[in-house]
Amino acid sequence: MTWDEDRAGAVVRRALARVEVPPSRVDPGAVLITIRRAERRRRRLTVGIAAATVFAIGLGSAVALGGDGRGRGMDEPVDRPSPGPTETRAVPTVDQVRVRVSESPADCTTEQYDTPDDAYFPSLGAVDPSGRFLAGTSPVGDWRRKGFRTYLVIWDRGKANLVELSRAFQATVTAINSAGVAAGNRWDGDNRPDVPWVYRDGQVRNLPLPEGYRNVRAVAVDDAGEILGVAGGNGEKAVLVRWDAAAQTPPRVVTDPFGTFLGWAPDGTITDSVSLTRETAAVRISRPDDGTVVRPAAPGWHSRRDAQLQGNWLAGTVWGIGAEKSSPAQWNVRTGRLTVFLGLDTHRLDTVFTDRSGRLLVSTPTRGWFLVEPDGTARPLPKTLTGKGPVWSLFFDDAGRIYGGAVDENGRQWPVVWQCR
């Protein structure tokens, strides 16, 4: 077997290992959780008041999630409160808004960014809040001649720059700040863990790992260049770690345990999604003063696993309301209000995005993409925004500009930015 064939086989094995297998009636994760809980009960005489409160609310707000909540943007059930005082709020108040579809398309201007010839199918991963920098990754165009490798693609005001991620068979970029500092993760080979990396001053280097953790993912970078990551290892639950701006030393653990990352606000507030029980989802908001608010989700709430907060808004869908299989929805995690938009059926696909002002971008399998205003007015996106194929990897900057990708009839992809009034 040649070197390229061997690496190709490694990629295939890696991809197969990541394919989700439909769960059987026996849930190994639930069994493991039950065993751990039994051991904890043996060691403890009572359960903390905060945990009991969370459990009680969870029984009254069952959410239609499958299995242990994985695949719905939720982590393993929470069995102990976060450090600091914890306040558990009530299930969200649900408002219903009837969608009114306009025949006129949304008034949008578009701009297409160039893609370097050597970047094959660039996949967008992040946009900085100001909109200056856009980041993505791409496999090499001519892999038969150049071998397997991956590029980091940074667009600065629309101009692309390629940086090779050496030894990376697969890579993702997860965040970029307004100074062009990017962070992400890469896979270096078969039986190797994912490695977090940082891009700064035109160079990419690996981030030092926290002691005792093998699987570490970078998830966010702030304006000062500090980086958040999620680490797991030795069968324990995930913890949140933080690298300083220099990123020369291993990160420190700042939260234990941690769910699925949702957002990191400029004031230091960190938001993650968790499961209160196997059936009950929630959002946990951890403030810098160590105060924590836990907001249980409404019944039927679903969100993408990679969904992130835009301001106070989280986009998702709700099942079981109205005549649709699933309706687009937005959850204000600060006020606790959930708004469900009836009249657009996403057919249980999590194709709903939101900007900081609360506008939704919704894709339906039969009717295409719509821009939905908070009052329910829905306008179709102009066809020129999507080329001959679908829009993919949607992101927003603080000004409400939308960043995604288009693919033409020949399969070529490129980034597109548009602003809709």
Q: Which tens digits make up the pLDDT trace of 66-88?
A: 333 333 333 444 333 344 568 88
Sheet holding 413-420, edge to edge: 108-112, 413-420, 402-407, 392-396
Q: What is the pLDDT of residue 81?
A: 39
SS3 79: coil
SS3 307: coil
pLDDT in tens, 347-377: 999 999 999 999 999 999 988 899 999 999 9
pLDDT in tens, 149-177: 789 999 999 999 999 887 777 899 999 99
Structure-token pair, residue 187: 């896979």
Q: What is the mean pLDDT of the chain?
A: 79
Q: What is the pLDDT of residue 38?
A: 39
Q: What is the pLDDT of residue 137?
A: 92
229 neighbors 216 (Cβ within 8 angstroms)? yes
Q: Using the predicted structure, report yes or no on whether residue 294 has a pLDDT greater than 80.
A: yes
Strands 108-112, 392-396: pairing kind: unpaired
Q: Is 131 left (phi over 0), alpha (psi -120 to 50) or beta?
A: left
Q: What is the pLDDT of residue 280?
A: 82
Q: What is the mean pLDDT of residues 231-259?
A: 88
Q: What is the mean pLDDT of residues 113-136?
A: 90
Looking at per-residue pLDDT, the higher value among 382 and 105 belongs to 105
Q: Model confidence at 60, in pLDDT bands (50, 70, 90)?
A: very low
Q: What is the mean pLDDT of residues 269-296?
A: 90
The burial of 334, by beta-carbon neighbours within 10 Å (0-12 exposed, 13-18 middle, 19 or more buried), is given as middle
Q: What is the pLDDT of residue 110?
A: 87
Looking at per-residue pLDDT, the higher value among 313 and 21 belongs to 313
pLDDT in tens, 172-211: 999 999 999 999 998 876 667 788 999 999 999 999 999 8
What's the helix, strand, coil split of the chain in %, to 5?
Answer: 10, 40, 45
Q: What is the pLDDT of residue 141?
A: 61
Report d(CA 126, CA 257) in Å as an integer.
26
Q: Model confidence at 4, in pLDDT bands (50, 70, 90)?
A: very low
Q: What is the mean pLDDT of residues 84-108?
A: 89
Closest CA to 197 of 168, 170, 218, 211: 218
Q: What is the pLDDT of residue 7?
A: 45
